[in-house]
Structure 1
Amino acid sequence: MAGDILLRPFAGPDLDWLVERHQTLYARDEGFDDTFGPVVRRILEEFEAGHDPECEGGWIAQRGGQRLGSIFCVRHDATTAKLRLFLLVPDARGLGLGQRLLKTCMQFAQGAGYAGMTLWTHESHKAACALYARSGWTLTRSVPVHSFGQDLVEQTWTFRF
């Protein structure tokens, strides 16, 4: 049940867990190579070193001390927030937690005064892309790329408040 899941702010001790989970799950599920984990680490280290808590936030979903997922809202530009590092571990999928995390992030962005949001993902993330579409996001760009050792279709999605 998703009701017993706590959403709490990201903290420094979460960094290594998030890097490991992203690297392991994306390697297992999508065949990503070992260049992916360092990208996640850089994003988290930059967030930790200089985010503005008035307009940027990160959340960890947790139940009984076990981390289940994450989502981050960071400044893209003066009027647009960027959704980053949206992750659910396999055991947490299908509980409505992804929708809860997305709603939390979007409400934060709107409350921080952003006029809209953007995100970058891959077409292969079918469940996440379906969630974005159901939540009113618009697919604005789709382009074939070779990243993390794989041929992928990179997507940009946007949302306006």
Structure 2
Amino acid sequence: MDIPKYTIRHQLKPGDLSQIAALHGKIYGEEHGFPIGFEVYVMQSVVEFFEQFDTEKDRVWIVESDERMVGFLLLMHRPNNQAQLRYFILDKTFRGIGLGKKLMGEWMDFFQERQYQSAYLFTTKGLDPAVSLYERHGFRKVSEKMTENFGFPMLEVYYRLDLS
């Protein structure tokens, strides 16, 4: 199997925020049946992230191939020396080549470098490869609940990583 060429950058540039939402809308819509309300949620929360973005505390991983965004991940600072892992996504073509593992490793390195005490993330049932990756890095499931946040029923799962 040929590994597709890609680059990873850490600086946001014009057009990125809308591409993050579009990538999520497309992939989650096609692969998991999420309605457009999910893309709206991503748009709104990406704006929240941008408005409080701090280059000392936050980091983005933007994966590009042929000048197109094909993956994304971010670490967002939160109160009480916590970090939130958000928007971990890869286009199908870039899965299964070790890229997710690489991104998660870099996320953990930045998390430890900045001396965060804990981290959390929200995900949904059915994203088993991602959950396996989170668990290999010490995240543990704390709770799960049925929601209709995006206009359809889904099981939302909350994971935490505590260093204390």
Normalising to structure 2: TM-score of the pair?
0.89
Match of 2:106 in 1: 104
AA matched with 2:153: D
Match of 2:77 in 1: 75
CA contact (8 A) 1:70 1:85 kept: yes
In the alignment, structure 2 segments of 5+ residues that lack a partner are none
Relative to 1, partners in 2 of residues 1:34 and 1:63: Cα closer, same or farther, differing over 3 Å? closer
Match of 2:46 in 1: 44
AA matched with 2:147: V
AA matched with 1:6: T
Shift in Å at residue 122 of structure 1? 0.5
Q: Is 1:16 aligned to 2:13, yes or no?
A: no
AA matched with 1:119: L
Match of 2:56 in 1: 54
**C-alpha deviations, 1:46-98, integer Å up to 9, x for none?**
22223111111111012342322000101122221000111111111111111
Match of 1:153 in 2: 155
CA contact (8 A) 2:23 2:70 kept: no
AA matched with 1:8: R
Shift in Å at residue 136 of structure 1? 2.0
The percent of aligned pairs where both chains have the same amino acid is: 26
**C-alpha deviations, 1:116-156, integer Å up to 9, x for none?**
21101011111111111222211111112223232211111
Shift in Å at residue 15 of structure 1? 1.4
Match of 2:132 in 1: 130
> Counterpart of 2:74 in 1: which secondary structure?
strand
Match of 1:7 in 2: 8
In the alignment, structure 1 segments of 5+ residues that lack a partner are none
User: In the aligned structure 2, how far is the partner of 1:145 from the partner of 1:37?
Assistant: 16
CA contact (8 A) 2:64 2:71 kept: yes
User: In the aligned structure 2, how far is the partner of 1:48 from the partner of 1:146?
Assistant: 26
User: In the aligned structure 1, how far is the partner of 2:15 from the partner of 2:6?
Assistant: 19
Match of 1:65 in 2: 67
> How many correspondences in the alignment?
160
AA matched with 1:55: K
